[in-house]
Structure 1
Amino acid sequence: MKTTISILGSGFSSLAASCYLAKAGYDVTIFEKNDTVGGRARQLTKAGFTFDIGPTWYWMPDVFERFFSDFNRKPSDYYQLEKLNPAYSVYFGKGDFITIEDTLDKICDAFEREEPGSSKKLKTFIETAKSNYNIAIKDLVYNPGVSPLELITPKTITKLNQFFSNIKSDVRRSFKNKRLAQILEFPVLFLGAKPSDTPSFYSFMNYADFGIGTFHPQKGMYQVILALKSLAEELGVKINTSSPVKKIVVNEGHATSIVSNGKTIHSDIVVSGADYHHTETLLEEPYRQYSENYWNKKTFAPSSLLFYVGFNKKIEHVDHHTLFFDVDFDEHAKAIYDAPEWPEKPLFYASFPSKTDNSTAPEGKEAAIFLIPLAPGLNDTPQLRTTYFNKIINRLEYLTNQELKSEILFKESYCINDFVADYNSYKGNAYGMANTLMQTAFLRPKLKSKKVNNLYFTGQLTVPGPGVPPSLISGKLVADLVTKNHTL
């Protein structure tokens, strides 16, 4: 009989792991608590509109290509990509915005218009970012986070100082224009920490942004999930939805089964792509690696207040991705990381996928996704959600000079309580554990349990970190560890 593997969850990391493990010859079954696959990357459809509930940015296409090539496939076998131009725009005031286009030369022109002489500095900055990208994304992030020695290579030794300085100080040293500095600091927010707490080496995110660009899968990010699901099923993976796992049974240091929907299911190996903290609560206490105190002391990436809105008309003066930095960046960051509270004047991000993709809204109408980053663990009430929707819709109307409230057909919200209910997310975080210096690589929670011999973890709370491309990589890393430790 084949060695059986039970995988908890069906997000990017779980689906990726299932593909690698099935290809290696294991008998793989996924158990997903919700009624559709995708984890945080699910989809909402309503009244002819389609929204990605979770991730909306498609960066680092080379990581997706590398994943599919491991199975002699290409992304285009499953979905079609369009490079966005503009990639996004950033509002700083009424009718006052900077547009980031689809090539570095065009972006340099935009910088030069804003601050004469800045384009030369930008090219130098992006050259360093490209070098870091080639080291990080093509090499370092494919290490399993077992040893600090993974970070020490002939290439990284020349960049050691970049692990002990931070993105904000590097950017502000070269760019005196606050608006340009904020644009350069924006990509590291995907890593879940303030620019001042993110090592300089992570400037590779700026190369992903300016050097490679922003893409959109036709019909939305959920098409990538459906691609992974199709590939997994082609490889023989069985997927059970509406199947929450309530317990991982351990005997003498070995996981022997899981309990789902009242049934005990034998498993030779268990891999969890569910929330790491939650997964450990499925174990008897002696088999948990990390205490509540451990988790409480960690720096978590933000949670989010999201709105999915159908508008009865096309919205003017916005792009597919639009950022609203018309309020104090640092004050909002303090409300997330330093003194957690609801921000008085929040920055927000908006996605209008129907600007690019006609399938996401009926003709003449607009699909809109709004996101406000929040500290995890805040009190989340319907009244607060309404208050903050009014804040951002009023600002959207003012900044873009148009009336919109009367054109709202419907709105749905999603916030901290929903992250907890749907994903068992620790404190309702949206993106996992931040990639600060002390939470990088081998300093993150381990892929392999130290207390249960055949229990493994994958996803945004372990290696390599938050984001969609890192989640794909995490699936590969855990599968490699399983195959190394449990030969067929």
Structure 2
Amino acid sequence: MKKKIAIIGSGFSGLSAAAYAAKAGNEVHVFEKHDQPGGRARQFTTPQGFVFDMGPSWYWMPDIMDKFFADFGYKTADFFDLISLDPQFEMIFADKKMNVPENFEALKLLFEKTEKGAGVQLEKFMRSAKFKYEVGMQDFVQKPCYSWLEFVSLKIAKSALKLDLLTNFRSYVARYFKNKQLRTLMEFPVIFLGASPKNIPALYSLMNYGGYALGTHYPRGGFYQLVLAMKNVAEKQGAAFHFNNTVEKINTENNKVTSLQINGSNQEFDAVIASSDYHHTESLLNEAQRNYTDTYWQKRTFAPSSLIFYLGINQIIPDLKHHTLFFENDLDEHIDCIYEKKKWPENPLFYCCCPSKTDDGVAPKGKENLFLLMPLAMGINDDETLREKYLKEMLARIEKHTGINDLLSKIEYQRSYCVSDFIADYNAYGGNAYGLANVLNQTAVLKPKIKNKKLDNLFYTGQLTVPGPGVPPSIISGKIVANEINKIYYETAI
């Protein structure tokens, strides 16, 4: 007998959970407080004709997305055109520029040119990273993580030493490369996992393989095309979406969720999957029914928040790539401001995305679409004066790089997004943008549990639980939770 399941939120984990839960024959309803799906990956269009993805812009680990669609009999190409970027991105240092090519052999030549012997070292690094990726993404991250016993398998046991769980990422990279810029290039992918490279396990060199080796891609029409495609798949399985529907309370009786209060009225369900912020979801319960206390959350290590600007520029900007990383300043100094000092950085690093270099549909002809992002400590003051100060600094560095003068006067559209906006729009704990950090003491079984310990039919999915932050892990998280429900009710998994 099919079950009636509610999913709170339509971010990537919610979309994934909806598709897998509906495929098993459940009656699935997705409730989203906004007027469109996607959560942090929403999209908006301005009156001037600019189209902005609000969140994710790095399409890495394409095989994870391919696997999602394949599970339902589709291909990624059935829904959108995926463009492989070349160069994948450009990294700006104080004294040089480094373009990361699409082709791995060309990447080896770049490394060799920068440091003698580094081309061979990159090949060794990526061979190991590929192994971690295959074990990590196919086995390690697919577990519900109730117990360490889930990891007791011959394959994982044989792989344990090669996974480098007890080595920190910085030391690991330093084994291969001496050049500081090459080290920074290799450390960059783990920054958004939520901690300094010196605190992230070397296991996450799998990120380098999932990015640099598998390539950096872009869905024509914007990252939002992935959202629309996943929603389409979920609907084809029978899932129903309800927008402008805010879940205000989780009602319980006899150790079960009985109903949700949505826009002031109660609706009954057999089970609930919360793709919403974990801490916020628990605030909708009585205190005694929560998995974790406020003290628990205060002691967690979170990934950064961000200062984001969406800018429409009224002219073409030469010499700017689709993705550009402005790393002229010291990486550790900025990281310390995020995790240790918890203050605005004095000498920030930032990222610029200019999708109009690849896609003429995201900006009017002869104009550019800019997305600027600066990683930031969560929970800090983010008033407009501070936002504007950093906008001017970022624009000045883009001007220096491209030779364009007075970009500020060429802004046709401007919108900022920061800590307080993440709280207002997503109920994000402390205004975090990416979830919990993937430090060792918050890995696998040590992450917040996917199942409520006191309520038999309440589950959690997304970046604050397993397997962790990022789009591919969130998609996997939705599948894990849907499978747990399917095993309970149908003794089967997809």
TM-score, with normalisation over the residues of structure 1? 0.98
Preserved contact between residue 192 and residue 304 of structure 2 (Cα < 8 Å):
no
Alignment of 1:272-287 (within 5 A): 272-287=274-289
For residue 51 of structure 1, give the secondary structure of its aligned residue in structure 2.
Answer: strand
Preserved contact between residue 30 and residue 239 of structure 1 (Cα < 8 Å):
yes
One-letter amino acid of the structure 2 residue matched with residue 113 of structure 1: K
Match of 2:237 among 226, 235, 238: 235
Distance 2:81 2:166 in 1: 40
Distance 2:189 2:18 in 1: 29
Structure 2: segments with no counterpart, 5+ residues: none
Superposed CA deviations along residues 138-190 of structure 1, whole A, max 9, x for unmatched, are 22111111221333443443554511111101112321111000000011123
Provide the residue aligned with 2:443 in structure 1.
440
Match of 2:216 among 214, 217, 222: 214
- Please report how far the alpha carbon of residue 2 of structure 1 lies from its aligned counterpart in structure 2 after TM superposition: 3.6
One-letter amino acid of the structure 2 residue matched with residue 421 of structure 1: A
Preserved contact between residue 140 and residue 150 of structure 1 (Cα < 8 Å):
no
Provide the residue aligned with 2:260 in structure 1.
258
Provide the residue aligned with 2:102 in structure 1.
102
Preserved contact between residue 392 and residue 408 of structure 2 (Cα < 8 Å):
no
- Please report how far the alpha carbon of residue 38 of structure 1 lies from its aligned counterpart in structure 2 after TM superposition: 0.7
Distance 2:50 2:151 in 1: 45
Distance 1:6 1:412 in 2: 33
Distance 1:114 1:93 in 2: 15
Provide the residue aligned with 2:82 in structure 1.
81
For residue 243 of structure 1, give the secondary structure of its aligned residue in structure 2.
Answer: coil
- Please report how far the alpha carbon of residue 111 of structure 1 lies from its aligned counterpart in structure 2 after TM superposition: 1.0
Superposed CA deviations along residues 85-106 of structure 1, whole A, max 9, x for unmatched, are 0000100036x21000102111
Structure 1: segments with no counterpart, 5+ residues: none
Match of 2:179 among 177, 180, 197: 177
Preserved contact between residue 93 and residue 399 of structure 1 (Cα < 8 Å):
no
Superposed CA deviations along residues 284-333 of structure 1, whole A, max 9, x for unmatched, are 11101100010010010000000000111111222101000000100000
Preserved contact between residue 448 and residue 456 of structure 1 (Cα < 8 Å):
yes
- With 245-254 and 229-238 compared, the bigger mean Cα shift is at 229-238
Distance 2:464 2:371 in 1: 25
Provide the residue aligned with 1:293 in structure 2.
295
One-letter amino acid of the structure 1 residue matched with residue 381 of structure 2: N
Provide the residue aligned with 1:486 in structure 2.
489
Provide the residue aligned with 1:20 in structure 2.
20
Tell me whether 1:144 sits opposite 2:147 in the alignment: no
Preserved contact between residue 82 and residue 218 of structure 1 (Cα < 8 Å):
yes
Provide the residue aligned with 2:91 in structure 1.
90
- Please report how far the alpha carbon of residue 401 of structure 1 lies from its aligned counterpart in structure 2 after TM superposition: 2.5
- Please report how far the alpha carbon of residue 112 of structure 1 lies from its aligned counterpart in structure 2 after TM superposition: 1.4
For residue 359 of structure 1, give the secondary structure of its aligned residue in structure 2.
Answer: coil
One-letter amino acid of the structure 1 residue matched with residue 92 of structure 2: Y
| Count of aligned pairs between the two proteins | 487
Distance 1:396 1:197 in 2: 31
Preserved contact between residue 93 and residue 327 of structure 2 (Cα < 8 Å):
yes
One-letter amino acid of the structure 2 residue matched with residue 363 of structure 1: K
Distance 1:446 1:230 in 2: 29
One-letter amino acid of the structure 2 residue matched with residue 305 of structure 1: L
Match of 2:354 among 352, 355, 358: 352
For residue 71 of structure 1, give the secondary structure of its aligned residue in structure 2.
Answer: coil
Distance 2:35 2:477 in 1: 24
Task: Tell me the C-alpha RMSD between the 2 structures.
Answer: 1.2
Provide the residue aligned with 2:325 in structure 1.
323
For residue 93 of structure 2, give the secondary structure of its aligned residue in structure 1.
Answer: strand
Distance 2:467 2:152 in 1: 16
Distance 2:140 2:350 in 1: 32
